[in-house]
Amino acid sequence: MKKVALLLSLVLVLSVALVGCGGEQQLGEIDNLVVAQGADADSLDPHAANDSPSSKVKKQIYETLVTRDENMELQPGLAKSWEQIDELTYEFVLEEGVLFHNGEELTASDVEFTLRRALESPHVGHIVGAIDPEGFEIVDDYTIRISTEEPFAPILAHLSHTNAAILNEKAVEEFGDDYYRNPIGTGPYMFESWEQGDRIELVKFEEYRGEGAHIPRVTIRNISQNSNRTIELETGDVHIAYDIEPTDIDRIEADPNINLIRDPNLTTSYIGFNLLKDEFQDVKVRQAINYAIDVDTIINTVLEGSGQTATGPIAPNVWAANDNLEPYGHDVEKAKELLAEAGYEDGFETVIWTNDNQTRQDIAVMVRNQLEQIGIDARIESMEFGAYLDETAAGNHDLFILGWGTVTADPDYGLFPLFHSEQHGSAGNRTFYSNERVDELLEKGRTTDDEEVRMAAYTEVQEIIRDEAPWLFLNTGEERTGVNASLEGFVNDPTGHHPLWNVRVAE
């Protein structure tokens, strides 16, 4: 019996030692950081997708000319310095000796190639669209001048966007149509493999300048069920889990082996109306639905109180956010009145689309139930995220649930791609909203350096959008990341694209 007891004790000790690495190794010896997110990447080509799951991976692989620190202040990236030459032109001086993952050295020609290619992309062209296609001048291998067609105030902010990452021309040409799954960047991690629908494997880039990554390998897993991400975080099969389910907050905070890191982000969540559909072309219908939905109850139940009620299209921590906007509030009788005025006193049938995200699915259920109170019969359909993006970009939906992060922290990025009439579809405007005054104001806001003029333009835009309601405004967001307590160095990025190379095992 003593031998049995001793054996059981040894098994227990070994089991505890293995927690944190899926039962394979002690966390103190970890060589593979396992990270879970809620959807697979759509593409690892920065010019072929602009979704958050893809960007979370691309953040590790690529770098941009300009970057932002934790306070969203602009800092040098691949460009060690820059200078504004005139109102249209910036000169960027590149770091020398920077290597791509294929061994090629970064030069100014790669920068020109990248930005020209981005300009042609229907997915991310709006990020760099202000650049003049003829506005490139290579001064030498490490110096390039970039000009815009007209003054463009947020150019540096846009060049800090994850999808403005610099590519290697030789690699893009070599892989051709398969480049999206063979990415080559200059970042701390390099791509190794992708089992689509399941996981992406990254490995430390040993030739990275500076300190580089602390942990040699990263596995980014696609675990679409939020509760499953939490469970695998608890068992140690996952070391970092993004987007912790609101219902799991108390459970995670009570676990001494996990740290829950919560920070406001730059995201606004919404339900978009397809304005190509007859019933949603009437602003009274869109306003009626905003009045019909009890957003505060959704936040307090489905979201467990995380985030804030959205009063407009951009989050309050984005510069020039209009903090004078009033939420619609919950007023069923007002909603019925507006529907009747629009000729829908008996309601109508519609479909709410969502992707395979449990929180969004739960929101859809609550919205469907509340729409019944005003006679609208809503059916819910859920689909895989990549297909979801394709179908909403094509305008095949009625209602859809999405979020948008103003990852540049400049209102141009939070408003122009979502509401300008030239941005319909995959560029961001999936509601197919058009308003000449909004177009005019958005163009004014991006073409002047005068902050007062910009502020006035964006303030009015937000007022118009709030009133015309191409969205059902839901909530502004927060980053909720569960991290194994034996790790240190992880910091939530407000953009949602979190750097992993600083993560290390605590000493």
What percent of the chain lies above the pLDDT cut of 70? Answer: 94
Residue for token pair 């030498």:
140
What percent of the chain lies above the pLDDT cut of 90? Answer: 83
pLDDT for 217 equals 98
pLDDT for 28 equals 58
Delimiting residues of CATH 3.90.76.10 domain(s) in the chain: 63-173
Give the pTM.
Answer: 0.79
Delimiting residues of CATH 3.10.105.10 domain(s) in the chain: 265-478
Of 84, 78, 121, 118, the C-alpha closest to 98 is: 78
C-alpha span between 92 and 398 (Å, rounded): 45
Of 160, 138, 175, the C-alpha closest to 62 is: 160
Long-range CB contacts for residues 298-303, cutoff 8 Å, separation at least 24: 298/363, 298/366, 298/367, 298/474, 298/475, 299/475, 301/366, 302/246, 302/359, 302/362, 302/363, 302/366, 303/246, 303/359, 303/475
CA 309 → CA 43, 271, 295, 297, 339, distances in Å?
32, 13, 7, 10, 24
Asked if 58 and 183 touch (Cβ cutoff 8 Å), the reply is yes
C-alpha span between 99 and 213 (Å, rounded): 15
pLDDT for 4 equals 39
Spatial CB neighbours of 24, under 8 Å, sequence gap ≥ 6:
18
362, pLDDT greater than 70: yes
**Overall fold of domain 63-173:** Dipeptide-binding Protein; domain 1 (3.90.76)
Question: In this structure, are strands 377-383 and 349-355 parallel, antiparallel, or unpaired?
Answer: parallel
| CATH placement of domain 265-478 | 3.10.105.10
pLDDT for 30 equals 85
The pLDDT-based confidence of 501 (bands split at 50, 70, 90) is very high
Asked if 414 and 314 touch (Cβ cutoff 8 Å), the reply is yes
pLDDT for 11 equals 38
pLDDT digits (tens, 9 = 90+) for 300-348: 999 988 889 999 999 998 999 999 999 999 999 999 999 999 999 999 9
483-487-489-493 Cα dihedral, nearest 10 degrees = -10
Kindly report the three-state secondary structure assignment for every residue of 320-343.
CCCCCCCCCCCCHHHHHHHHHHCC
**Average pLDDT of the chain?**
92
pLDDT for 9 equals 41
DSSP, residue by residue, 205-273: -TT-SSS--SSSEEEEEE--SHHHHHHHHHHTS-SEESS--GGGHHHHHT-TTEEEEEEEEEEEEEEEE
Question: In this structure, are strands 240-241 and 258-273 parallel, antiparallel, or unpaired?
Answer: unpaired
C-alpha span between 389 and 50 (Å, rounded): 10
pLDDT digits (tens, 9 = 90+) for 13-71: 333 333 334 333 345 578 999 999 999 999 999 999 988 999 999 999 999 999 988 78
pLDDT digits (tens, 9 = 90+) for 277-300: 999 999 999 999 999 999 999 999
User: Mean per-residue pLDDT for 186-194?
Assistant: 98
Q: Enter the tokens of residue 200.
A: 């992406």
Asked if 448 and 409 touch (Cβ cutoff 8 Å), the reply is no
Which region, left, alpha or beta, applies to residue 37 given φ > 0 means left and ψ of -120 to 50 means alpha? beta
Of 481, 56, 503, the C-alpha closest to 226 is: 481
The pLDDT-based confidence of 397 (bands split at 50, 70, 90) is very high
Q: How many helices (H) and strands (E) does the chain have?
A: 16, 19
The pLDDT-based confidence of 7 (bands split at 50, 70, 90) is very low
pLDDT for 245 equals 86
C-alpha span between 275 and 347 (Å, rounded): 17
